[in-house]
Amino acid sequence: MSKVAELEEALARIADNQTIMIGGFLGTGTPEGLIDGLLEKGVKNLTLIANDTSFVDKGVGRLVVSRQLKRVMVSHIGTNKETGRQMNAEELEVELVPQGTLAERIRCGGAGLGGVLTPTGVGTIVEVGKEKITKEGKTYLLELPLKADIALIKAWKADTYGNLVYRRSARNFNPLMAMAAAFVIVEAEEIVAAGALDPDEIMTPGAVVDMIIKG
């Protein structure tokens, strides 16, 4: 069964107040076409889970500028001055998560795990409100899984069933996020027939992908 769809069909799955994961690292590996669609549709009050908020004119940073986000969970905001401005003005809720911890929390969400124990953040503001567990004399924070209603993923190649291949550093958070959302929408630069991809090059299995659009 082909999972290829039009952009309008993909956008119909996205609504106000949803939690959305968007792949990318400073805009690299980000599905820009889907973000264009979100801007045009005007969905609002979204919770964004991403590595960062990119730049004011690129990637998920454009959603910050358009004020479509109510909350972001990211590892840093330093490259987007508008995120910092909105945070300081209490117009946007920002939760900063250490990058490795963010990746592991998303992985736990996709793998059905109850969380991950990490020493990162112990003794800092990161530990506020979190359970601490001591094992063999070492203290860890219990970091809980992250899941989303929708994941927006960028792939280099996809077959019509949804098997995905990423290109170089554009891979980043995309494979993790594709496993951790209830509905996964992929923007692919190239779409090929099912069976055309070498099984050894597939990085995300089509079983977790719900919809593909041509990027």
Residue-wise pLDDT for 128-154, tens only, equals 999 999 999 999 999 999 999 999 999
pLDDT at 1: 84
Q: Give a yes or no: residue 142 inside a domain.
A: no
State the amino acid at position 49 in one-letter form.
Answer: I
Average pLDDT over residues 56-85: 96
Q: Give a yes or no: residue 121 inside a domain.
A: no
Angle at 70 between CA 64 and CA 75, to 5 degrees: 65
Q: Give a yes or no: residue 196 inside a domain.
A: yes
Instruction: State how many domains the chain has.
Output: 1
Q: Give a yes or no: residue 28 inside a domain.
A: yes
Q: How confident is the model at residue 188 (pLDDT cuts 50, 70, 90)?
A: very high
What is the residue range of 20's domain?
7-113+147-214
State the amino acid at position 156 in one-letter form.
Answer: W
End-to-end Cα distance, the chain: 20
The DSSP line for 20-58 is EEE--BTTBT--HHHHHHHHHHT--SEEEE-SB--BTTB
Report the C-alpha dihedral over residues 83, 172, 152, 56, rounded to 10 degrees: 20
Q: Give a yes or no: residue 132 inside a domain.
A: no
Q: Give a yes or no: residue 118 inside a domain.
A: no
**Domain holding 163: CATH number?**
3.40.1080.10
SS3 assignment, position 79 = coil
State the amino acid at position 151 in one-letter form.
Answer: A
